[in-house]
Amino acid sequence: MGDPVFNGGLDLGVLGIVAVKALIGFTFVMVGVIFMIWFERKIIADMQSRVGPDRAGKWGLLQTLADGIKLIFKEDLSPDRSDRLVYRLAPYLSVAPAFLTFTIVPIGGVFRGDDDGTLRVLGNDTFLQVADPPVGVLFLLAMSAVAVYGIMLAGWSSGSKYPLLGSVRASASMVSYEAALGLSVVAVVLLSGSLSTHEIVSSQAGSVLDWNIVRTGFVPFVVFLIAATAELNRPPFDLVEAEQEIVGGFHTEYSSIRFGMFFLAEFMNTITMSAIMVTLFLGGPDGPAPIGPPLLWSFFWFTIKLLAFLFLFVWLRAALPRFRYDQLMDLGWKQLIPLSLGWLLLLGAIQIGRDEGWNVVVVVLVGFGIAVVAAGGLLGAIRVADRRRDAFAEPLPNESAELTDAGVR
């Protein structure tokens, strides 16, 4: 369907509405980043019985602004062995996908009842989101895949071994969690019947039981949450910047505002991915409107759901130790991908059974069996590949003895 603001064609009024929405969306994300950094530092400090920021502004609210100003005025250094063009471009490649992904998120609108969630502005109806492309979910997956390029190029272009190790980790681990993330999104698209984020939210209107977290059986939501945490490089999956192993990771050689842009991208991505999870699984801005304008209530419910996810990410950071690199890969390949694939097949079987009028119990049993066989076959293939890899990696008995003797000598 798309945003109705374009139904009457393009003119200066329509372009002005689009520009204002983009500006509001960017401001929302940037202000959200400022408060998210303060929010995370305060919550973790409270969990660790510390005070946290309390000097700059009331309750330390201006601490993030002070840190940003400091980074802007610090000296910007470039390593001698770096690829100058790619080195300077990489931070922007990390920030841009985070904001572009947020543009497809409905942040308000009335989705319960007869209202379709539009707002009247200058004689034009428009959605409370920057853009609603018909292939919004595909755009989400594309931006999710592109976001890792900033990390990869930053590590490679620095001309240093430790940042390169961080970028190699990012590129290798992306394959494991990206497939599981995509399969969990496909489950949502299967039930919603649309790739538009506005339509996905509209399909969840009515009650909590209509939200996709319930309709999909909770499993795709858990898979998406774990995969999203890995994609955000948030603890316990912050392996690309593990300071105990690779100094500072992919951004070791960066300084000044370019160093700050990577953290801007990380926190912006955290807000964006939380908003995506609210949109896909928790009904977006859907919620009751007891009194007053329903439009304000929709924005209120969206903000509350967003804050709940942000608190969850902070909680995970404070509570869980970092995974090892091989543990993340095993989690993605051996657990998340088979689980999400099997569950998708089960949901597909149930959906087909409903359309054809088949017995639901029989469909669930047969679909569950097919899902288990498919997931088990995939897991078995992965384990066979692991055994072959380990067999090639193990030294021959004579070689092992020679190495041991050489070590003794």
**pLDDT at 22 exceeding the cut of 60:** yes
Average pLDDT for residues 268-275, to the nearest whole number? 91
Average pLDDT for residues 202-217, to the nearest whole number? 85
Spatial contact of 90 and 153, defined as CB atoms under 8 Å apart: yes
What CA–CA distance (Å, rounded) separates 323 from 238? 8
H or E element in which residue 125 lies: strand 124-127
Spatial contact of 128 and 108, defined as CB atoms under 8 Å apart: yes
Respond yes or no on whether the N-terminal peptide bond of residue 236 is cis (omega within 30° of 0).
yes
Band the pLDDT of 280: cuts 50, 70, 90: very high
Task: Give the pair of three-digit tokens for residue 164.
Answer: 């390169």
Q: What is the pLDDT of residues 82-141, one digit of tens each?
A: 788 888 888 888 888 888 888 888 887 755 544 556 777 666 777 788 888 888 888 888
What sections of 78-218 are H helices per DSSP? 84-102, 136-157, 161-192, 197-202, 212-215
pLDDT more than 70, % of the chain = 83
Of 362 and 255, more confident: 255
What per-residue confidence (pLDDT) applies to 142? 87
Using a 10 angstrom Cβ sphere, with 0-12 exposed, 13-18 middle and 19 or more buried, the burial of residue 227 is: buried
What per-residue confidence (pLDDT) applies to 306? 92
What CA–CA distance (Å, rounded) separates 132 from 106? 8
Spatial contact of 183 and 223, defined as CB atoms under 8 Å apart: yes
What per-residue confidence (pLDDT) applies to 14? 77
Neighbouring C-beta atoms of residue 341, cutoff 10 Å: 20
Task: Give the pair of three-digit tokens for residue 308.
Answer: 């709940």
Band the pLDDT of 379: cuts 50, 70, 90: low
Task: Give the pair of three-digit tokens for residue 352.
Answer: 């087909």
Could you tell me the end-to-end alpha-carbon distance of the chain, in angstroms, rounded to an integer? 76
Average pLDDT, the chain: 80
Band the pLDDT of 395: cuts 50, 70, 90: low
Alpha carbon dihedral 85, 91, 93, 97, in 10-degree steps, equals -170
Of these ranges, 13-27, 261-275, 289-303, 349-363, the one predicted with the greatest mean pLDDT is: 261-275
Average pLDDT for residues 31-40, to the nearest whole number? 89
Chain CA centroid to CA 81, Å: 33
Exposure string for 171-208, b = 16+ CB within 10 A, e = fewer? eebbebbbbbbbbbbbbbbebbebbbbbbbbbbbbeee
What per-residue confidence (pLDDT) applies to 401? 46
What CA–CA distance (Å, rounded) separates 27 from 29? 5
**pLDDT at 69 exceeding the cut of 50:** yes
